Structure 1
Amino acid sequence: MSWLLWSVVAVLAGLWSVTVWLCHVVVAALLGGAGHLPVKEIALPEAWTNWLPQPVSESITQMLEAAQPVLAAVLDYVPALAGGLTVVAWVVWALGAALLVLAGVASHLALRWWRRSQRPAPRATLRPS
């Protein structure tokens, strides 16, 4: 029975590893291409300007225009964060793997305790004197 428990832990650890790896690949690709985003083309959609009141629409447009240099500067540094992402991915993976192993150990101990509680108590026998 404990082999089944540890098999489940192993399968979950494999799924955890694949999930962390895929998330790392996707986020690294997004961060790597962030420096090429067209920041100067960020604007309020035409449908929103027709729907919002004119003062609100103008204030949002001015705010977007004022934020463009800041966004451009931030996006220039974002690809450099991809290297730190690898460290974060390893730390997250290690924490998740440690939790899976701890859950496996706790389940193993609980299974062992349950098996011992299911055994019939030894009968007391009288010895002839």
Structure 2
Amino acid sequence: MALLLWIVVGVLMAVWSATVWLGQLLLTVLIGGAGHLPVKDIALPEAWTRWLPQAVSESITQGIETLQPWLQSLLDTMPALAGGVTVLAWITWAVGAALLLLAGGASHAALRWWQRSQRTASLPKLLPS
């Protein structure tokens, strides 16, 4: 029974590791390629300008044009943050792995306690009460 418990913990650890690894890979790719996004092409869609009032449409367009240089500088600095994703992934993995191991240890201890209590309950009494 304890072997089955630790097999389940091992499978959960493998799933956790694969999930963190895949998330780290995707975030690194997304953040690493953020500097190549064309910020100059961001604009209010043509269909929206027909439905929105002209003042609102112009206000949104003006806001987009004002934010474009700031957004471009933010996207240009994003690839430098890709290394931080790896550190964050390792910390996240370590916390999750520790919690899984603690849960496995606690389950193992509870299983042993339950097995001992079952053994003592099934022992015949030597003296009648």
The answer to whether the superposition gives a TM-score over 0.5 is: yes
**Structure 2: distance between partners of 1:50 and 1:98:** 55
What letter matches 1:38 in structure 2?
Answer: P
1:36 maps to which residue? 36
Say how many residue pairs are matched: 126
1:53 maps to which residue? 53
Structure 1 gaps of 5+ residues are: none
| Identity percentage of aligned residues | 65
Cα deviation for residue 83 of structure 1 reads 0.7
Question: Is the deviation greater in 110-119 or in 76-85?
Answer: 110-119
What is the TM-score normalised by the length of structure 2? Answer: 0.92
2:84 maps to which residue? 84
CA RMSD of the aligned region, Å? 1.3
**Structure 1: distance between partners of 2:57 and 2:25:** 38
Structure 2 gaps of 5+ residues are: none
**Structure 2: distance between partners of 1:31 and 1:42:** 19
1:124 maps to which residue? 126
2:15 maps to which residue? 15
What letter matches 2:25 in structure 1?
Answer: V
Task: Give the SS at the match of 1:123.
Answer: coil
Cα deviation for residue 122 of structure 1 reads 4.8
**Structure 2: distance between partners of 1:47 and 1:113:** 68
1:70 maps to which residue? 70
Task: Give the SS at the match of 2:125.
Answer: coil
2:26 maps to which residue? 26
- Deviating beyond 2 angstroms after TM superposition, the runs of 4 or more aligned structure 1 residues are none
